[in-house]
Structure 1
Amino acid sequence: MTLPDLVGPGLDVLFCGINPGLLSAATGHHFARPGNRFWPALHLSGFTPRRLAPEEQEELLEHGLGITNLSDRPTAKADELSAEELRAGGERLTALAAAYAPKVVAVVGITAYRTAFGRPRAVVGPQPESIASSRLWVVPNPSGLNAHYRLDDFVEVFRRLRSEVAQAL
Structure 2
Amino acid sequence: MKLPDLLIEDLDVVFCGTAAGDKSAELKAYYAGPGNQFYSIINSVGFTPIKLLPSQFPDLLNYRIGLTDIAKFAQGVDAKLKSSDFDVMGFKEKIIKYQPKYVCFNGKEAARVFYSLKQTKNIKYGIQTDIIKKTKLFVAPSTSGSARGYWDENVWKELFELLKNRKVHKS
Deviations 1:87-139 (A, max 9, x none): x2x22221111000000011112023123313552211110111232000011
Structure-1 residue corresponding to 2:156: 158
2:20–2:75 contact (8 Å) kept in structure 1: yes
- Distance in 2, matches of 1:31 and 1:103, equals 22
Task: State the distance in 2 between where 1:26 and 1:158 align.
Answer: 27
- Structure 1 stretches of 4+ moved >6 Å: none
SS at 1:29 equivalent = coil
Distance (whole Å) between structure 1 residues aligned to residue 134 and residue 64 of structure 2 = 17
* SS of corresponding position for 1:95: helix
- The count of corresponding residues between Structure 1 and Structure 2 is 164
In structure 1, which of residues 109, 112, 122 is the aligned counterpart of residue 110 of structure 2?
A: 112
Amino acid at match of 1:166: K
Distance apart, 1:14 and its partner CA: 0.5
CA distance in 2, matches of 1:130, 1:105: 9
Structure 1 residue matching 2:95: 3-state secondary structure: helix
Q: CA deviation at 1:149?
A: 2.9
Give per-residue Cα distances to partners, 1:33-77, cap 9 Å, x unaligned. Answer: 131011100000000001110011111100010100010234331
Q: Which residue identity does 1:156 align to in structure 2?
A: N
Deviates more, 1:112-121 or 1:32-41: 112-121
List gaps (5 residues or longer) in structure 2. none
- CA shift for structure 1 position 83: 2.9
Structure 1: which 5+ residue stretches go unaligned?
none
| CA-based RMSD | 1.6
Secondary structure at the counterpart of residue 17 of structure 1: strand
Question: TM-score scaled by structure 1?
Answer: 0.90
Q: Percent identity?
A: 30
Corresponding position of 2:7:
7
